[in-house]
Structure 1
Amino acid sequence: MASQGKRQSKIVLTKPFSLEVDTTDLEPGYSYRAPNLISRLLSLLKNVRPGSDLTNLQLPPLFNFPKSQLQCYGESVYCTTSNSNLLTQCNNQQSPLERLTSVVAWSISTTRPTSFGVAPYNPILGETHHVSKGNLNVLLEQVSINPPVSALHATDEKENIEMIWSQQPVPKFRGTCIDAEVHGKRVLKLRNHGETYEMNCPRLSIRILPVPGVNWVGNVNIKCPETGLVAELSYNSSYSFLGLGGNSKLIKGKILDSSSSNVLYEIDGQWDSTVKVKDSNSGKVKVIYDAKEVISGLKTPTVKNAEGVWQTESALIWSELTQAIINKDWDKAREAKQGVEERQRKMLRERESIGEGWTPKNFLVSYSNESGLECDCSPIHKWVPAAPIIAL
């Protein structure tokens, strides 16, 4: 997995999504917000019927946040504050129950605030994103575009930890909102304990009317087959009349022993604040997750070795578009986006003309049903190598 050819343009990285309310901040002193957002969004959707799948909807750059969806997936894993290491905590807990509790906290930490009205770029086929944070090395690849499937492999050789994800967003227009379900499975392996934790992802709900907003909702189940312990989480939104007021970041749930159905812990809190567990036997309450400590004030990753960056890297492929959006140069942004998309179409046409299919470079992909909504992405390599891009 070496560098592929000469560098064509500079690598542009932007600030990750963090706890701060205004996630449209790109850099200190700079804020991006599309003008006349609601009217423009309604105009874009005026010919879309409720229930329509928006997977292939082409957004103009005005509606793009300056980074790829691959980067957003990766950031939810490697972008945490320097004084927090939830994965190490998962590994260091003494009992299966406390390890599952720590995995719940880590899973909640991957739920990141996002911004209304702007979306990341749709990754192109074969696009990759490769970043390291300490001993954790993270690699993502867009293994399919029809359906759009992103695969993630992350390893920490020192802690003997591995995670494997497959992600397929399916956004649908509901008339007054857009619901984006995220199909696929997330697996976290604590090899020192011989434990595998399987989990899913909440869905993203984008409300257009009556009050614009975006939030994570739905149910997340985390199970460990080796111990029989299960966590059931529910991401909820609570709004008052006409969508005003209320609390939109609620999370509730429980941890139970699947063999007896006994509830061991009750979970309650807000995923953008603190989450607590209450021992069902003793009544003791403790904080297991503090968003401010984990995802507040996150820093932009940095390039340690520019020559080691692959030509398929997200931050390189989309660099011209990202820079144009930062500069609010919309003519240049449209030109840059069209250039990337046309290069992809040309590659697909050339492959089709010679009957050559696409084979991912870092994953083996298999679909478990005819609908293509369930897939398994198995990494080809045991360990992810250290990356030329470093998360701070």
Structure 2
Amino acid sequence: MLGSLTKGADLTSMIVSASLLKPYSSLQKLGTDMMSRSNYLPEIVACKDPLERSLMVAKFFISGFHPDTFDGKKPFNPILGEQCHHVFNHGEEFGKSYYFSEQVSHHPPIFAAHVVNDKIGVKATLTGKTKVIFGGNFIDVKFPGHKEIYFKEHDELYTIETPFLCVRGVMGIGKKGIERSGQLIVRCEKTGYVTKVHFKPLGFLGLWGTWNAVDGHTKLVTKEKGKKKKELLKTFDGYWTSTINVTDAKSGEKEVFYDYEGMSKYNIKPVEIPLEKRSKLDSGNVWRKAIEGILSGDMKSANEGKHEVEVHQRELRARLKKEGKKHEHAFFDSIKDDHWVPKEEAVAQYILSELSVH
């Protein structure tokens, strides 16, 4: 299949057999990955030092990255309107984090996600415009879009840029695997701290470089007489799948900044909510037949389930077009193509009516 493609081909909406799919939607994976170590959030809120806080925000987003195994399969592409909601219970002292996500556009594919925890005063909003590009012997998977997290206790808003995924060796040449590439950038305009962590890609065919290596820095960015002034505070080096070290730019003192295994103490799983108590548009319900078929090895049933969803989507789009209507989004409004914001009233109502009991 890939052999017939030209370099630069867009694979975002490519239709494949259920045998080449993982038993979950990409919308499901997004939430469980990002929030997998969200027990760390209360510690960020409790931190009194703004520089340390900014570093902790970077650590939180790195902690949402997990090593992936290259098996030639991909998640389901979410349908328009598909939803995935989670509840993460941090205990009586720190309350619950409610995670919402919705596929707000199918062509082009765009997802929006929102996290809210009123007990500790944390809100996060993310938009991702999925781009899957064939590069010959590799595939790049990118999610550009506006991402931010807000801490009420400190009145600090951080904007986030994230690295992308690169699937290497898809044509059987060179090293095979999945790596992160690009930069994690964490900015806080109020404090002026900017942290950049560069996820270093392997060289051509993997002939040089090391898997999962990173470097980077933290700078204080201020303005003096209308000109930007940048002061180097910290530098980073190491591997995001094991340990990343931080060196103080002034003293030269070096210590462990990030420990992948050490962060596991903040692991948390979402509260189990039965599918029958979830929305019909929940990922688990949308793809239920296909997922059950994949898990049981019944590819005929899996393909039937997948086909039924695709046919229903085509019919829905045709009906909306005929009636001159647009799809109504349940939980998000668009500011612009790459920036969607939550409908606060709809989110609050859903928490009270559907999620508060969990």
Query: Which residue in 2 is equivalent to 1:278?
Result: 247
Aligned length in residues? 338
Q: Give secondary structure in 2 for the equivalent of 1:193.
A: coil
Return the alpha-carbon distance in structure 2 between the equivalents of residues 139 and 327 of structure 1. 29
**1:62-110 C-alpha deviation (Å, 9 max, x unpaired):** 1111111111111122223xxx722112211111101001001011112
For the 8 Å contact 1:169–1:183, the answer to whether it is kept is yes
Counterpart residue number, 1:223? 187
Contact 1:78 / 1:136 at 8 angstroms: preserved in 2? no
The one-letter amino acid paired with 1:333 is A
1:147–1:168 Cα contact (<8 Å) kept: yes
Q: Distance in 2 between matches of 1:262 and 1:192?
A: 26
Letter in 2 for 1:283: G
Could you say which residue in structure 2 is the equivalent of 1:24? Answer: none
Percent of aligned positions that are identical:
27
Task: Quote the residue 2:24 is aligned against.
Answer: 67
Q: Look up the equivalent residue of 2:242 and give its one-letter code.
A: S
Whole-Å separation in 1 of the counterparts to 2:26 and 2:209: 29
What are the within-5 Å matches in structure 2 for residues 255-334 of structure 1?
Answer: 255-259=218-222, 260-295=229-264, 301=270, 303-304=272-273, 307-334=276-303
Match 2:36 to one of 79, 83, 86 = 79
Unaligned ranges ≥5, structure 2: 90-95, 223-228
Which shows bigger deviation, 281-290 or 193-202? 281-290
Cα deviation for residue 366 of structure 1 reads: 3.2
Distance in 2 separating the partners of 1:137 and 1:224: 24
Deviation at residue 303 of structure 1 after TM alignment? 2.8
Cα 1:104–1:143, aligned 2, differ >3 Å: closer, same or farther? same
Per-residue CA distance 1:149-181 (angstroms, 9 max, x = gap): 000000111110000000112111111111122
Give the TM-score normalised by the residue count of structure 1.
0.80
Deviations 1:241-264 (A, max 9, x none): 853685211121100001131111
Partner of 2:44 in structure 1?
A: 90
- Equivalent position amino acid for 2:302 in 1: A
Pair 1:205-2:174 in alignment: no
Question: Residues 102, 390 of structure 1: CA spacing in aligned structure 2 closer, same or farther, 3 A cutoff?
Answer: farther
2:214 to 232, 248, 251: 251
Are 2:78 and 1:123 aligned?
yes
Q: Distance in 1 between matches of 2:294 and 2:221?
A: 49
CA contact (8 A) 2:187 2:193 kept: yes
Deviation (angstroms), 1:388: 4.9
Query: What amino acid is aligned across from residue 163 of structure 2 in structure 1?
Result: P
Correspondence 1:140 to 2:101? yes
1:123 CA drift (Å) = 0.3
Secondary structure at the aligned position of 2:4 is classed as coil
Which of these residues, 42, 47, 62, is aligned with residue 4 of structure 2? 47
Q: CA deviation at 1:380?
A: 0.6
Whether the 8 Å CA contact 1:155–1:163 is kept in 2: the answer is yes
Instruction: Using the TM superposition, give the Cα deviation of residue 52 of structure 1 relative to its aligned residue in structure 2, in angstroms.
Output: 1.1
Contact 2:88 2:268 in 1 (8 A): no
Counterpart of 1:377 (choices 340, 343, 347) is 340
Q: C-alpha offsets along residues 33-52 of structure 1, whole Å, 9 cap, x if unaligned?
A: xxxxxxxxxxx112211111
DSSP-derived class of the 2:318 partner: helix
Aligned to 1:362: 331
Does residue 235 of structure 1 match 2:192?
Answer: no
CA contact (8 A) 1:177 1:206 kept: yes
Kept in 1, the 8 Å contact 2:35–2:64? The answer is: no
- One-letter amino acid of the counterpart of residue 126, structure 1: G
CA distance in 1, matches of 2:321, 2:27: 25
Q: CA RMSD in A?
A: 2.4
State the match for 1:57 in structure 2. 14
C-alpha distance in structure 2 between counterparts of 1:302 and 1:64, whole Å: 25
CA contact (8 A) 1:305 1:389 kept: no
SS in 2 for 1:66: strand
Alignment of 1:105-184 (within 5 A): 105-116=59-70, 117-134=72-89, 135-184=96-145
Structure 1, unpaired ranges of 5+: 1-43, 368-373
Q: Aligned partners of 1:245 and 1:266: how far apart in 2?
A: 23
Any conservation in 2 of the 1:102–1:288 contact (CA below 8 Å)? Answer: no
Q: Alpha-carbon deviation of 1:286?
A: 2.9
| Local SS of the residue matching 1:51 | coil
Which has the higher relative contact order, 1 or 2, with Cα contacts under 8 A spaced 6 or more apart? 1
| Contact 1:364/1:379 (<8 A) preserved | yes
For residues 257-286 of structure 1, what are the alpha-carbon distances to aligned partners after superposition, in whole Å with 9 as ceiling and x for unaligned? 011311111122211112222211222333
Instruction: Find the counterpart in structure 1 of residue 93 from structure 2.
Output: none
| Conserved 8 A contact 1:165-1:187 | yes
